[in-house]
Chain A
Amino acid sequence: MIKRLPFSSSSNLLKMPETGIGYQIIDAVIEHRRRKERFLVYNTLLAVSFDERFFQQRRKIIREGYERTLNKASYISFESASLVNKSQLGISPRLMMEGKGDKGRHEGGNGATDNPKENADGKEIFVRISAYENDRRIDEKNKKLLPGSYTTTHNDYLTCLTYDDDPIDRYALPNDEDIEWAFYIQPERKDELQRGIVQPAFGHAGGGIEAFFEKGTSKNTYYNKKPYGQ
């Protein structure tokens, strides 16, 4: 959903800090609806649902241009809106203390296996990108991630797509093949992970977020496979 915000909502957002250059990520209640929805708002005016279709919508905006999209978009009003804390975006406060460089990449910090274990919160989504549709770390039968597997966070995946970043360089992968697939995993609370910053390797800079699941994830936590970027 791509919507234009009226003056009142835009003015409210202007009073809040940005999440990144030129945008804010907010939780908002749309008028006459009761539940909160998450949006990425460009320039306090153009609100895009921050969900799994976000990248498609963003492509549409790039294709059509910001001004044209804004002029075409119908209005939506928020009853309330609050800025999403960066900690709610799936990046730990510790990681947020590291510098953030070009294309939303992180600088410094440790790789995942050098950081302490944490439990998943049952809500956060992780994405495993792969050149292979038959990725061997995905247990299709039990719908889970196998022990000893890496993913990135859904948030970092979206950031990678938002900036049209090169996933091979961001996640310091040795592949000479294009990344074709994205596997979606939502671990349960009992599932443990270690979270960190991808360290430089194979001549690539790294700087993406990585999550290592030493014991894998519980059954039925793998729930979707999509072509990369869709």
Chain B
Amino acid sequence: MANDKPKKIKLDKEQIEYLSKLPETGMGYQIVDITLKNGRKINNQTVLNSEFLLLENDDISLEQISKIELSKK
């Protein structure tokens, strides 16, 4: 049976510090675009508390992430 709950990844310290300095999108969360090390981009993902990345459909690991940026509105 499919699990509809998004996968939650705890970001590394550097990423958390980086996101903590950027504005929130709403109370307690930021919407981000992720670039993977293979160049693939996953846009409009949610990060809670500048700390936990929620992935709706993608099954990636922390090690695959190259860059995180705030999504443009």
Contact = CB atoms under 8 A, between A and B. Distances in A.
A156 B48 CA distance: 22
Chain B interface residue bracket vs A:
10 to 19
A88 to B, nearest CB: 24
A150 B24 contact: yes
Contact of A131 (B6, B16, B28): B28
Interface string A151-192: 110000000000000000001111111000000000000000
A210 B51 contact: no
Interface stretch (A3-11, A37-45, A141-149): A141-149
B46 A174 contact: yes
Contacts of A18: none
Nearest to B8: A176
Given A136-B16, A146-B20, A176-B5, A198 B26 contact: yes
Contact residues of A: prevailing secondary structure: loop
A84 to B, nearest CB: 26
B55 interface: no
B50 to A, nearest CB: 5
Contacts of B2: none
Contacts of B23: 147-149, 214
Interface string B11-23: 0000010001111
A25 interface: no
Chain A interface residue bracket vs B:
20 to 34
B26 A210 contact: yes
B27 A174 contact: no
A130 B28 contact: yes
A150 B6 contact: no
13 contacts: A130-B27, A130-B28, A132-B48, A132-B49, A134-B49, A136-B20, A137-B20, A146-B20, A148-B21, A148-B22, A148-B23, A175-B48, A214-B23
Interface of A: 128-132, 134-137, 146-152, 171-177, 198, 201, 210, 212, 214
- List the 9 shortest-distance A-B pairs measured between CB atoms, nearest first: A148-B23, A150-B27, A174-B46, A136-B50, A132-B49, A136-B20, A150-B24, A174-B29, A136-B49
